[in-house]
Amino acid sequence: MTPILVFDLETIPDVVGLRQTNDWGDLSDLEVVERALAERHAKTGNTFLPHHLHKIAVIGCAFRDDNGFRVKCIGQADDPERNLIQGFFKTIDHYSPTIVSWNGSGFDLPVLHYRSLVHGVVASRYWDNGNDDRDFKFNNYLSRYHTRHTDLMDVLANYGGRANAPLDDLAKMCGFPGKLGMDGSKVWQAWQQGHTDEVRAYCETDVVNTWLVYCRFQLIRGLLTQAAYDHEIALVRAHLESLDAEHWYEYLEAWGSV
């Protein structure tokens, strides 16, 4: 089978970038972020920073290939951002997987593009549009309507932003656990308070939610039979049951109660 890589980012404000693009040299790191968020809220009504000012803190991945299913975050919590990005694109270089996301076209991939540019990370396989591999001319990672990257949120909304739905809602409505006690708005506070393991755990559960919804999507497309779909769901359960981590105990408990 063609390997499938489900991915999700957790980000924090880029203090260095904020200093470089503003005259805030006399402020502490925390003051820089607080000022940036306050100014953003005053300008837009929310605190969501521009994509290029999001620093990648976590890249969560679920991977399915002929060897089974597994889930993990790339690298360690204290790894430099550049290393995380390199690890992600190294996986694409090696496996040429189908990549799957929820709002990857709208957030995760643009952030990866900008942060790769900042750090000079080479990702030739990802950026190929047919110059190196002719097959990529007709199906590559960059085209919105190609299938090497499936942005589930975008596809299910029929590429219309007004119809977008939250992953948490869809996961729960399909009988999966959804989010457990954290969401993206809480990541910065948790990270700066040192709760990095909690953020990484949250990211891992999000990619599992995405994978489970993707399996359901493959079922309704007719690309998985009911038996094959049931096998994929059982495979995820079995893998999570083999992991000795508190967030997976909680996730499985929630799954059993929905």
For the segment 13-35, what is each residue's pLDDT rounded down to a tens digit? 999 999 999 988 889 999 999 99
Q: How far apart are CA 155 and CA 138, in angstroms?
A: 18
pLDDT confidence of residue 111 = 98
What is the spatial distance between Cα 48 and Cα 196, in angstroms, rounded to a whole number?
20
Phi/psi-derived region of residue 180, left when phi > 0, alpha when psi is between -120 and 50, beta in every other case = beta
Alpha helix (H) residue ranges in 120-225: 124-127, 135-138, 152-156, 167-173, 187-192, 196-220
Q: What is the pLDDT of residues 74-102, one digit of tens each?
A: 999 999 999 999 999 999 999 999 999 99
H or E element in which residue 117 lies: helix 109-119
Q: Count Cα neighbours of 85 within 13 Å in the Cβ-side half-sphere.
A: 23
In this predicted structure, the answer to whether residue 231 has a pLDDT above a threshold of 90 is: yes
Let me know: does 1 contact 97? Beta carbons within 8 Å.
Answer: no
In DSSP terms, which residues pair with 7 in a beta bridge?
61
Confidence of residue 180 (pLDDT cuts 50, 70, 90): confident
Residue 17: which of 118, 112, 110, 85 has the closest Cα?
Answer: 118
**134-144: pLDDT as tens digits:** 999 999 999 99
Looking at the chain, the whole-number percentage of residues with pLDDT higher than 90 is 91
| DSSP 8-state symbol, 52 | G
65 confidence band (pLDDT: 50, 70, 90) = very high
List Cβ neighbours of 192 (8 Å cut-off, separation of 6 or more): 12, 30, 33
- Domains of the chain with bracketed CATH: 4-257 (3.30.420.10)
8 Å CB contact between 11 and 52 = no
